[in-house]
Amino acid sequence: MAEILSQTDIDSLLSEIDAGDDLAPQKVEERKRNVSVYDFRHPNLVTKDQLRLLQMVHERYAKLVESYFTTKVRKMVDVKLMAVDQVTYSEFMLSVSDPSCVYILKIEMLGGEAIIEITLPLVYYFIDRLFGGGGKTTEDLREMTIIEQHVISTIAENIVSSLNKSWHDIYALDAVISGFQARPSFIQIASLEEMVISISLEVNVQETSGFVNLCFPFRLLEDILPKLSSDEVGRKRPEDESRSDLISVSKSLKNAQMPISAELGRKNISVEDLINLEVGDVIKLHSRSDSPLRILIENESRFLARPGISGNHVAVQIEEDIEY
Indicate yes or no: pTM above 0.75.
no
Q: Give pLDDT tens digits for 6-47.
A: 777 777 767 766 555 554 555 555 555 666 665 666 677 888
pLDDT at 39: 61
pLDDT at 237: 47
Q: In terms of pLDDT, which residue wins out, 93 or 134? A: 93
Q: Which residues contact 28 (CB under 8 A, 6 or more apart)?
A: none
Least confident segment among 31-40, 70-79, 128-137, 233-242: 233-242
- State the pLDDT confidence band at 98, using cuts at 50, 70 and 90: confident
pLDDT at 156: 95
pLDDT at 146: 93
62, pLDDT greater than 90 = yes
pLDDT at 57: 92
Across all residues in the chain, what is the average pLDDT? Answer: 83
CA nearest to 47, candidates 231, 198, 229: 229
In words, the CATH class of domain 48-254 is alpha beta
> Boundaries of CATH 2.30.330.10 in the chain?
260-321
CATH topology of domain 260-321: Surface presentation of antigens (SPOA) (2.30.330)
**Average pLDDT, stretch 143-164?**
93
pLDDT at 238: 46
63, pLDDT greater than 80 = yes
210, pLDDT greater than 70 = yes
Q: Give pLDDT tens digits for 106-123.
A: 999 888 999 999 999 999
- Give the separation between CA 282 and CA 290, rounded to whole angstroms: 18
* Percent over 90 (pLDDT), the chain: 39
- Give the separation between CA 180 and CA 148, rounded to whole angstroms: 12
Q: Give pLDDT tens digits for 262-299.
A: 888 888 888 888 888 889 888 888 888 788 888 888 77
- State the pLDDT confidence band at 170, using cuts at 50, 70 and 90: confident
- State the pLDDT confidence band at 79, using cuts at 50, 70 and 90: very high
